[in-house]
Amino acid sequence: MEKISGYIDHIIFRNEDNGYTVMVMICDGEEVTCVGTLQYINEGELIEAEGTYTQHSTYGTQFKISSFELKAPEDELAMERYLGSGAIKGIGSALAARIVRRFKADTFRIMEEEPERLAEIKGISEKKAREIAQQMEEKRDARKAMIFLQKYGISSALSVKIYNQYGERLYRIIEENPYQMTDEIQGVGFKIADEIAEKAGIHTDSDFRIRSGMFYALKQSMAEGHIYLPREELFRRGAELLGVSLEAMERNLMDLAMDRKVVLKEDRVYCIQNYYLELNTAKMLHDLNVTADIADDTVMQKLADIETRTGTSLEELQKEAVVQAVNHGLLVITGGPGTGKTTTINTLIHYFASEGLEILLAAPTGRAAKRMTEATGYEAQTIHRLLEISGVPEEDSAGYHFERNMENPLEADVIIIDEMSMVDLFLMHALLSAVSVGTRLIMVGDVNQLPSVGPGSVLKDIIYSECFPVVRLNKIFRQASESDIVVNAHKINEGEHVVLDNKSRDFFFLKRDDANVIISVVLTLVMKKMPKYVDAGMLDIQVLTPMRKGLLGVERLNTILQEYLNPRSPEKKEKEFGSGLFREGDKVMQVKNNYQIEWEIRGAYGIPIEKGVGVFNGDMGIVSEINSYAEQMTVVFDDNKYIEYSFKELEQLELAYAITIHKSQGSEYPAVVIPLLSGPRMLMSRNLLYTAITRARKCVTLVGSEQVFQQMIDNEMEQKRYSTLKEQIQQWQEEE
């Protein structure tokens, strides 16, 4: 680390949201380009900065600031420079010179303590003197707060949030109960608050700390899919995090319940929001399950007409699904690949359309909705789009605001949702809130797929409650039975071992035991073999891997695949971001839902012919342009949708030559390549392997250890999800 000091000559760029600044400092008469997060500083100010010199490929030598301290101007020249920089509105360089000439080294004291004396200067009225004094006071207070918060190791960007939220109250909050910030400021989690509390000298057995830590542990468990935690499990996690006694946690748990932050039910502890979401979801499901009494013969006659008209031949369970859908407000259709789920959906659409009913189709992700549209010929959309999401979402789905809700329900007679295994409790609650009693809700999915990324176990709980009609499609149709992808997926699901003799046309296993050799084989497959074999582009071949980290994790694979599939070139611009970089021509994936970002479809000569908003977690595209001057990167997504990302929005994107199997849910690719070596037992499970294999349309190739492959088939372990939706549904049924 090195130290430099000097005054800020001019600011080249500042991101007002996070304080990231590029500026030129004058240090001992030399210009130094500096970069760093420096909110609330202005041209003309004197600072002492600590950091390191770095070499930027485009902009040359820069001083990267890790911390800094504001210094009061020490001489008349520095005072004049600061006042004339534009930091104080209404004072230009000429007026700054007159003020300093009049008050000399006493200038700043007079401006702060006797501001009325500024009116002695020609060009400053009494009103203007008061305005200048007020600005000086505000800047002094903000600076004082920034310096105070820096002592606690708080970043400039977070300091701004804290100061804007609390103003002068922040001193009392930091010194008495910094844990209050975890509820009130996004970006302050328990761990940050705990570090601040330690520096503020707050005891580890403080009740504020124990309550905040326990609530944090409960909320963190939602990332593992849990709706609640058993009391003992919460205490175990709390003890690890807090290092306090069981008695202290028990006492504070009661206080959390009294503060209506948690709900205690027997030995279960829920965040209050989760408890009522689950309770209301169960109630709405129960209310939708109304029955009709339309004779089977009537339905069968219509089905015969549809079969004749469409040239399809339905098996008994598919017909049963239609009968149940006609006679029930709620229906679940589940089945593996090749069992005719899509044919059943198409038949249901034909049936209800012939009745003149309004039908809506949706799926949890953009790619799944696109597949549904292609398979049915009817427009399908994401559930979020169906519910007309608006506003900026909070950290989790429960913070979304949907225009469609109980007061403004969806206008439809039949709603069909595909890929239901991906739907979490938050999204299910939002969907049900917008479905009126009397509307048929048909949920289609494969219960053996990976569970939703968000909390809950919605599809399984609905099926296992045994309170609603469920049709399990289990017959593999003749055409599908010719595919070893389908046949082997079903074998894996049943726990049967698969013959790996490579005599198949669409299912291959290449045995390799060294990670670097596996990567070499993956490169050969993606670049040379697969595109010809499945008649697809190189970037259409998807590499799927169980993990993010490790020798065969997403992060390492993407770095290597980028190097070979889209190598560095003078013709391709690049943008460094995080620990990696984006390059023109890269395959990328959107990794969070963004409902505000604008897209446009361009026609001839790049002229926009259609515009809209929204891009979704899992959407893939190609980087078409990086513009360093405008600080924008353009990505072309499916359907020729162009989106321009500012550089500060790039955290929404990741390289996507390789993606995790979890991220591939709801998507389908011409061919997938799956590198397999050892990994955590909990992760390397049967349903992860099943999900990966069923993503391939024409060909799947696994490269790696046969032993690991067979172990995954044997490993039925699924991480236990603490959820009580099944019990809540059954409770409503019993009360009827």
DSSP 135-188: HHHHHHHHHHHHHHHHTTT--HHHHHHHHHHHGGGHHHHHHH-GGGHHHHSTT-
The pair of three-digit structure tokens given for residue 362, joined into one six-digit string: 């949706």
Backbone angles phi, psi at 145, to 5 degrees: -65, -45
Contacts with 67 (C-beta within 8 Å, 6 or more apart), sequence order:
49, 50, 51, 150
Contacts with 575 (C-beta within 8 Å, 6 or more apart), sequence order:
581, 582, 626, 628, 633, 647, 650
DSSP 678-714: ---TTTS-HHHHHHHHTTEEEEEEEEE-HHHHHHHHH
Q: With contact defined as beta carbons under 8 Å apart, do 489 and 512 qualify?
A: no
Tokens 């490579």 — which residue? Answer: 502
Q: Which of 595, 586, 198 is nearest to 390 (CA)?
A: 595
The pair of three-digit structure tokens given for residue 718, joined into one six-digit string: 């699924």
Tell me how far CA of residue 492 lies from CA of 433, 449, 498, in angstroms.
37, 12, 7
**CA 319 and chain centroid, separation:** 39
For 266, other C-beta atoms within 10 Å of its C-beta total 7
DSSP-derived letter for residue 476 is P
**Kind plus residue range of the DSSP H or E element containing 54:** strand 46-56
**Kind plus residue range of the DSSP H or E element containing 36:** strand 30-37
The β-bridge relationship of strands 658-660 and 541-545 is parallel
**Rounded distance, CA 544 to CA 170, Å?**
47
The end-to-end CA distance of the chain, in Å, is 71
Q: Is 340 annotated as a binding residue?
A: yes
Angle at 355 between CA 350 and CA 358, to 5 degrees: 80
Q: CA torsion, points 89, 90, 91, 93, in degrees to nearest 10?
A: 100
**CA 351 and chain centroid, separation:** 38
Q: Is 342 annotated as a binding residue?
A: yes
Known binding residues for ATP are 338-342
Known binding residues are 338-342
